[in-house]
Amino acid sequence: MSERLAVYAEGLFADDHAKAAHGLIRYGDRETVAVIDSTQAGRRADEVVPFVGQPVPVVASVREAAQLGATRLAIGVAPAGGKLPEAWRRALLEGLELGLHLEAGLHDELHADDEIAASAAARGLDLRDLRTAPADLSTPTGEGARLPVRIVHTVGSDCAIGKMTASLELVQGARAAGESGAVFVPTGQIGISIAGWGIAVDHVISDYVAGAAERLVLDGAARGDLLVVEGQGSIQHPAYSGVTLGLLHGCTPHVLVLCHRAGETVLRDWTDVPIGPLDELCDLYERITRPIRPARVAAVAVNTSACADDDEARAAIEDVERQSGRPADDPVRFGPQRLWAAIGSALPVPGAA
Amino acid sequence: MSERLAVYAEGLFADDHAKAAHGLIRYGDRETVAVIDSTQAGRRADEVVPFVGQPVPVVASVREAAQLGATRLAIGVAPAGGKLPEAWRRALLEGLELGLHLEAGLHDELHADDEIAASAAARGLDLRDLRTAPADLSTPTGEGARLPVRIVHTVGSDCAIGKMTASLELVQGARAAGESGAVFVPTGQIGISIAGWGIAVDHVISDYVAGAAERLVLDGAARGDLLVVEGQGSIQHPAYSGVTLGLLHGCTPHVLVLCHRAGETVLRDWTDVPIGPLDELCDLYERITRPIRPARVAAVAVNTSACADDDEARAAIEDVERQSGRPADDPVRFGPQRLWAAIGSALPVPGAA
């Protein structure tokens, strides 16, 4: 894509709330030419947040970002409740005045703001509301499973343990290894903000979860031939298992990758719900996937971010390998090569899927 | 409840599209004093449809139904697409003029019809839109599982195989056996029309499926102490498994009853998806329920409506018993006693749940 992004993160770029901004820079397909945060202006993005890995200039205003060649202004922070604060609104309106297209994944839609909509229409500029699900979703047709693409799906032992990050690292690793058709398929708000497309499957009507997942496979197949579909929740989670299973069945994966946080034995928010043993959890995912299309849990992506150092992380990963009976690694800390070696041998031959 | 219903089924009472009307009469907690269908007027409901089992008069007009003592006019037929035809609208307006409250589970809400809403408001009459989910749904809190009620949940081997009917028969049987606190908990449109309350869990946002199921348990516990929660779909269904699992985890059952259509080995609408072996399907339901609250599949309700006679039905039921390793019976054809004998021994002691 030829879009050049200005990522808006005023006052928050150093914060966890700017996770979408960080992901956009580290993983995005589109070039980010400026970060807007007046409290960090003059520094480089990777000085403020080393994780982003790109020396993008941080500037104080939308105007400066436009001068650096931005073509679209993207909101890179998630406000509490998804509502658009007035200061951000002013920044978006200024972006339109400067000729920038807009993009946001807010609950308050850009299209629903009369002033923003009128300004964009008058200037012929595009408003991209990432949170809006397609209006024509329905139940799946079976078409997704017949496409000649290979589909990897990251499933979880709990919520919020790094399924999105593992998926993004897997795609980066695949591309680095020559799989130019590797595509991250976003299924949640932040992933959508990073990729600039996708459907938040937990916001669609429950009857259409699997249909939304199939739609994402169809859309992903237009972008590449090796899809890594971001998982949601866990099949054992009292609150989110319905979304997890609808997504799992709807995206018809060839291979599953279990994502797990090192050392976790019960759900973080439901401590009376046990996670393991991990080999049984892998078996359950495989058993429930089988009637739709058989898929092995070929590897486990381990989140070792809480480990003090690489030695502790290595030990935690080896423990997961023993418990799960699968190859495991932390793709963020040690790269996705070991995971891909296991995934690749379980995937169908390209084009023959 | 002291409500007396007039059930509107104009031109369709003899038809399968009036399934809600039939269920209202056969299973409803409220007395039905008249069915409105001018094409069958003068007959008794159980002459037109023996299944309903009640000699309710069929009349030609809303006015006659009002004269028979009705207090509420309920739509008992499902129009294509959930839209309200103009003739039905006229009947509803006539009902309001005659002092009747209204009830409907249509996609077109009664409250959203300006003329109906104004007429009801002017007369102080109530409009009950059964399809409208509570506005304050969220994820579950765990409160449902702590209530002193016993919870039975009917799960399925496929869609549309009689889970609602089996649930209703189980409740009738329990009441007949002295369980006066047995309550049918409706989770779909027709069940809601029959019971006059409930949530269509497949129409809520997918994130809230389990929360909606928990809400139904809380609402059901206000009505009785033995809940039979109507299941939806199947855990192996490519389109609906997400709804199935969210409902299963959210309603925190003590006992499961598998519902199965005699002789079916693959899904009716997805013939490449195998159903059985039935013992493995029961094991899968138990395995995936266990982390939330362990529940046995104590019995199998077999739909033998396609069997030519009772002998053929008996043979089909015995076959299901062999395949599933569980007691089985058809509660519609042979009554729910055999199923309850198996369910009851798996339930906790009343009040100690």
pLDDT of B279 over the 50 cut: yes
d(CA A259, CA A153) in angstroms, rounded, equals 10
pLDDT of A353 over the 70 cut: no
The answer to whether the CB of A58 falls within 8 A of the CB of A41 is yes
pLDDT value for A286:
98
Interface test with B, best of A199, A206, A275, A285 (most B CBs within 10 A): A206
* Side-chain half-sphere CA neighbours of A162 within 13 A: 21
Which amino acid appears at position A62 of this protein? Answer: V
Contact A292 B284 (CB under 8 A): no
The answer to whether the CB of B32 falls within 8 A of the CB of B18 is no
Tell me the pLDDT band of A79, cut-offs 50, 70 and 90.
confident
Touching check for A142 and chain B: CB below 8 Å? yes
Of A140, A202, A284, the CB nearest to B238: A140
User: Parallel, antiparallel, or unpaired for β B127-129 and B101-104?
Assistant: parallel
pLDDT of B1 over the 70 cut: no
Backbone angles phi, psi at B333, to 5 degrees: -80, -40
Q: What is the pLDDT of residues A126-149, one digit of tens each?
A: 999 998 889 999 999 999 999 999
Which amino acid appears at position B32 of this protein? Answer: T
d(CA A252, CA A144) in angstroms, rounded, equals 7
Q: What is the pLDDT of residues B152-205, one digit of tens each?
A: 999 999 999 999 999 999 999 999 999 999 999 999 989 999 999 999 999 999
pLDDT of B57 over the 70 cut: yes
Which amino acid appears at position A262 of this protein? Answer: A
Touching check for B249 and chain A: CB below 8 Å? yes
C-alpha dist (Å) from residue A68 to A5, A14, A101, B132, B318:
10, 21, 15, 50, 76
Contact A238 B273 (CB under 8 A): no
pLDDT value for B286:
98
Q: What is the pLDDT of residues B9-49, one digit of tens each?
A: 999 999 988 999 999 999 998 999 999 999 999 999 999 99
Of A241, A250, A291, the CB nearest to B245: A241
Contact A241 B239 (CB under 8 A): no
Structure tokens at A249: 């069945």
B277 — alpha (psi -120 to 50), left (phi > 0) or beta? beta
pLDDT of A173 over the 90 cut: yes
* B-chain residues near A250 (CB < 8 A): 238, 242
Q: Over chain A, what is the mean pLDDT?
A: 95
Residue B294 has a CB neighbour count (10 Å cut-off) of 10
Interface test with A, best of B245, B275, B289 (most A CBs within 10 A): B245
pLDDT value for A236:
97
pLDDT value for B131:
84
d(CA B302, CA B323) in angstroms, rounded, equals 12
- Rounded to an integer, the average pLDDT of A242-267 is 98
Q: Which residues contact B186 (CB under 8 A, 6 or more apart)?
A: B164, B192, B194, B195, B197, B198, B199, B216, B230
Touching check for A169 and chain B: CB below 8 Å? no
pLDDT value for A131:
84
Nearest residue to B193 via CA among B1, B28, B10, B51: B28
Tell me the pLDDT band of A78, cut-offs 50, 70 and 90.
confident
d(CA A101, CA A5) in angstroms, rounded, equals 9
Touching check for B206 and chain A: CB below 8 Å? yes
Confidence (pTM): 0.94
pLDDT value for A352:
59
pLDDT of A69 over the 80 cut: yes
Q: Over chain B, what is the mean pLDDT?
A: 95
The strand pairing partners of A261, in sequence order, are: A303
Task: Give the gap in angstroms from C-alpha B84 to the nearest C-alpha of chain A.
Answer: 22
C-alpha dist (Å) from residue B69 to A229, B34, B37, B57, B73:
59, 9, 17, 12, 11
pLDDT value for A21:
95
pLDDT value for B353:
47
SS (H, E, C) chain B: CCCEEEEECCCCCCCHHHHHHHHHHHHCCCEEEEEECHHHCCCEHHHHCHHHCCCCEEECCHHHHHHCCCCEEEECCCCHHHCCCHHHHHHHHHHHHCCCEEEECCCCCHHHCHHHHHHHHHHCCCEEECCCCCCCCCCCCCCHHHCCCEEEEEEECCCCCCHHHHHHHHHHHHHHCCCCCEEEECCCHHHHHHHCCCCCHHHCEHHHHHHHHHHHHHHHHCCCCEEEECCCCCCCCCCCHHHHHHHHHHCCCCEEEEEEECCCCECCCCCCCECCCHHHHHHHHHHHHCCCCCCEEEEEEEECCCCCCHHHHHHHHHHHHHHHCCCEECHHHHCCHHHHHHHHHHCCCCCCC
Nearest residue to A237 via CA among A282, A269, A261: A269
Contact A241 B201 (CB under 8 A): no
- Rounded to an integer, the average pLDDT of A26-46 is 96
Interface test with A, best of B138, B206, B286 (most A CBs within 10 A): B206
- Rounded to an integer, the average pLDDT of A224-248 is 98
Touching check for B345 and chain A: CB below 8 Å? no
Nearest residue to A181 via CA among A346, A313, A311, A353: A353
* B-chain residues near A209 (CB < 8 A): 206, 242-243
Q: What is the pLDDT of residues B202-245, one digit of tens each?
A: 999 999 999 999 999 999 999 999 999 999 999 999 999 999 99
Tell me the pLDDT band of B352, cut-offs 50, 70 and 90.
low
Task: Give the gap in angstroms from C-alpha B230 to the nearest C-alpha of chain A.
Answer: 16
pLDDT value for A349:
86
Contact B247 A242 (CB under 8 A): yes
d(CA A35, CA A56) in angstroms, rounded, equals 7
Sheet holding B182-185, edge to edge: B182-185, B226-229, B150-156, B255-261, B296-303, B328-329
- Rounded to an integer, the average pLDDT of A75-82 is 79
The answer to whether the CB of A125 falls within 8 A of the CB of A101 is yes
Touching check for B198 and chain A: CB below 8 Å? no
